[in-house]
Amino acid sequence: MLKTPGWEMMIVWYFFLGGIAGGAYFTAAIADNFGGPRDGRVARIGYLLSLPLTGLCGLLLIADLGVPTRFLNMLGVFKFWNPMSIGAWGLGIFGLFSFISSVLSFSTSEQMIGLRRKASLVGSIFGFFLAAYTGVLLSNTALPFWGDSRLMGALFLASGASTGMAAISLLLFLSGAPAGEGWGKLKKADRYSMVFELLVLAIFLALLGSAARPITSGHFAPLFWGGLVGAGLVIPLVLELVGQRVKAIAAVTAVLVLAGGFVLRYVVVMSTQS
Amino acid sequence: MARTLAMFTDTSLCIGCRACQVACKQWNELGAEVPEWTGSYQNHSHFTDKTYRLVRFMEDPKPSGDLAWLLMSDVCKHCAEAGCLEACPTGAIYRTDFGTVNINQDVCNGCRYCVSACPFGVVSFNHETGTVRKCTFCNDRIHNGLGPACAKACPTDSIQFGFREELVRKAANRVEALKAMGFKDAQLYGADSKGFLGGLNAFFLLLAKPATYHLPDSPRLPQRNVVVDSLLSIGSALVVGLGALMAFRDRGKGDADA
């Protein structure tokens, strides 16, 4: 006799876009700090992508509230053990870092670039947080499947990484970037993330066993197996293997990975509530 | 802190008159709702944002082939370890000085996380106010020396109100008496403050297994896995970060890659 919170498409979009924002930011921070001079474009796109997405995330969260004008009430309390509470704080702090890194990504002064790199290292902690906490939020409810999932946060983080990287990759393609070093490294990082995501997903399902039925069988199963596992992870990995040098294939795989990330949030959020 | 107050619902005394349900609606000014067909006398099928007290009608098959008609007036359990209270990010859900759990309607912003955190499906979202609602333990009444409206209205003393430790003692005696009368499955639900959720401040005497009354056998605090889930997420972040680090550090080779 449990009740579901009635979180629908706005929350699905929030989980999806929050994952991309966090993933794109920490990817940018890693490229910025540990990559070479030719990775600058990846870093800048990552920072600049995370900023509007974070703003959009905030708007989605506020719009989904029963009383949107009371959204600041979330910031009157800090419960460090409560994913919803630290999530509101974390999103705000992440937005601040995203803003700082975005502004500094236009600077050419050595001092400012150094500051940006240092700031983004701290900010990437909040990027990882933003991608993962939504999963931990769901896994600490009284509802079946959500509450049974010990790896929901880990899975959402891996998905945030793969979709964040795919989003940067797609923007590189759309901006007509030359097939330089940065893109190749980014695609490699995305492949690592996707392989890891598949692995986490397998353990996630194994640990859940029959509790995973809401997504592995029934109404949501075709979307889960076809949309996430097939089109969102396995096919992109195969495409990457056979067509690594073709730019258009990189764009197609990026779109597929993004769609898969959306499907993951959709089936997880909606299946338990239907 | 004042002494903990409690409600003891003795289902063996319930006659299904629903005076409690009506008294609750009247005192708390909860609007009328369209009835629904539940297949029995029960209405509604579950708690709503306008039904805080709900008399449940259960038909339990007996070995003889007859049906036992079990009645139970259900309500928010005011858990000592309350999932809704832990989940609330605004501080709207709070514990009163009497140990009950209440929602401040002027603070709640309708995020609905508490709805998913209640192991009993009590907390309900009100679409008109945009806030969540549940039994207040008649907070206004108990702070003015009155018992909750439901307990006051109950004609058979199925719902009793008082100090928790006294009620628990009373309830234990009642179980013994019922067992002596042949109700061998008579048991208390949530009376033990060392039991699940630290004990329920609205606890019950049941005549059958909790599942018969649609109650979970041993509900647990939904937030119990925050640390494990967070550590696993941090592990995931380390692997993902390391992968990206390796990809971006890998100079020279990358040129031929794209």
Interfacial A residues in 192-221 facing B (CB < 8 Å): 192-193, 196, 200
For the segment B136-154, what is each residue's pLDDT rounded down to a tens digit? 999 999 999 999 999 999 9
Chain A and chain B share a number of CB contacts under 8 A equal to 229
Domain for residue A268, yes or no?
yes
Q: Do B245 and A30 touch (CB under 8 A)?
A: yes
Domain for residue A62, yes or no?
yes
The residues pairing with B74 across neighbouring beta strands, listed in sequence order, are B54
Q: Tell me, yes or no, whether B246 and B164 share the same domain.
A: no
Q: Tell me, yes or no, whether B162 and B179 share the same domain.
A: yes
Domain for residue A23, yes or no?
yes
Nearest-CA residue of chain A relative to B257?
Answer: A184
Domain for residue A233, yes or no?
yes
**Reported confidence tier of residue B130, pLDDT bands at 50, 70, 90:** very high
Q: Tell me, yes or no, whether B230 and B161 share the same domain.
A: no
Mean pLDDT of B218-245: 97
Encoded tokens for A108: 């050419």
What percent of chain B is predicted at pLDDT more than 90? 91
Quick one: pLDDT at residue A1?
A: 86
Distance from CA of A247 to the nearest CA of B (A): 8
Does the structure show a pLDDT above 90 at B255? Answer: no
Q: What is the CATH number of the domain that holds B30?
A: 3.30.70.20
Q: Tell me, yes or no, whether B186 and B240 share the same domain.
A: no
Q: Tell me, yes or no, whether B242 and B160 share the same domain.
A: no
Q: Tell me, yes or no, whether B253 and B157 share the same domain.
A: no
Quick one: pLDDT at residue A171?
A: 95
Encoded tokens for A220: 């949501």
Residue A95, phi then psi, degrees to nearest 5 = -60, -40
Q: Tell me, yes or no, whether B202 and B74 share the same domain.
A: yes
Does the structure show a pLDDT above 80 at B250? Answer: no
Among B233, B250, B253, which would you mutate to test the A interface (most chain A Cβ atoms within 10 Å of its Cβ)? B233
Q: Do A5 and B87 touch (CB under 8 A)?
A: no
**Reported confidence tier of residue B1, pLDDT bands at 50, 70, 90:** low
CA distances from B174 to A172, A200, B158, B205, B207 (A): 74, 52, 12, 9, 12
Distance from CA of A1 to the nearest CA of B (A): 6
ipTM above 0.85, yes or no: yes
Mean pLDDT of B9-13: 98
CA dist A23 and A55 (Å) reads: 15
Domain containing residue B241: 223-257
CA dihedral over A204, A206, A211, A216, signed as positive or negative: positive
Q: Helices marked H in B39-184 — which ranges?
A: 83-87, 113-117, 139-142, 149-153, 164-180
The candidate with the shortest Cα–Cα distance to A21, out of A103, A132, A109, is A132
Q: Tell me, yes or no, whether B193 and B227 share the same domain.
A: no
Distance from CA of A132 to the nearest CA of B (A): 6
Q: Tell me, yes or no, whether B165 and B83 share the same domain.
A: yes
Q: Tell me, yes or no, whether B112 and B50 share the same domain.
A: yes
Q: Tell me, yes or no, whether B202 and B228 share the same domain.
A: no
Does the structure show a pLDDT above 60 at B157? Answer: yes
CA dist A180 and A184 (Å) reads: 7
User: Angle CA(B176)–CA(B179)–CA(B182) in degrees, nearest 5?
Assistant: 155
Quick one: pLDDT at residue A91?
A: 98
Three-class SS of residue B187? strand
Q: Tell me, yes or no, whether B103 and B169 share the same domain.
A: yes
Q: Exposed, middle or buried, A65 (CB in 10 Å: 0-12/13-18/19+)?
A: buried
**Reported confidence tier of residue B254, pLDDT bands at 50, 70, 90:** very low
Domain containing residue A19: 9-273
Q: How many domains, in total, are found in chain A?
A: 1
Q: Collect all residues of chain B within an 8 Å Cβ-Cβ radius of residue A254.
A: none
Does the structure show a pLDDT above 60 at B256? Answer: no
**Reported confidence tier of residue B2, pLDDT bands at 50, 70, 90:** confident
Quick one: pLDDT at residue A182?
A: 79
Q: What is the CATH number of the domain that holds A95?
A: 1.20.1630.10
CA dist A161 and A19 (Å) reads: 7
Domain for residue A4, yes or no?
no
Q: How many domains, in total, are found in chain B?
A: 2
Quick one: pLDDT at residue A241?
A: 87
What percent of chain B is predicted at pLDDT more than 70? 96
Domain for residue A250, yes or no?
yes
Among B42, B85, B86, B90, which would you mutate to test the A interface (most chain A Cβ atoms within 10 Å of its Cβ)? B90
pLDDT tens over chain A, length 274 residues: 899 999 999 999 999 999 999 999 999 999 999 998 889 999 999 999 999 999 999 999 999 999 999 999 999 999 999 999 999 999 999 999 999 999 999 999 999 999 999 999 999 999 999 999 999 999 999 999 999 999 999 999 999 999 999 999 999 999 887 767 778 899 999 999 999 999 999 999 999 999 999 999 999 999 999 999 999 999 999 998 887 778 888 899 999 999 999 999 999 999 999 8
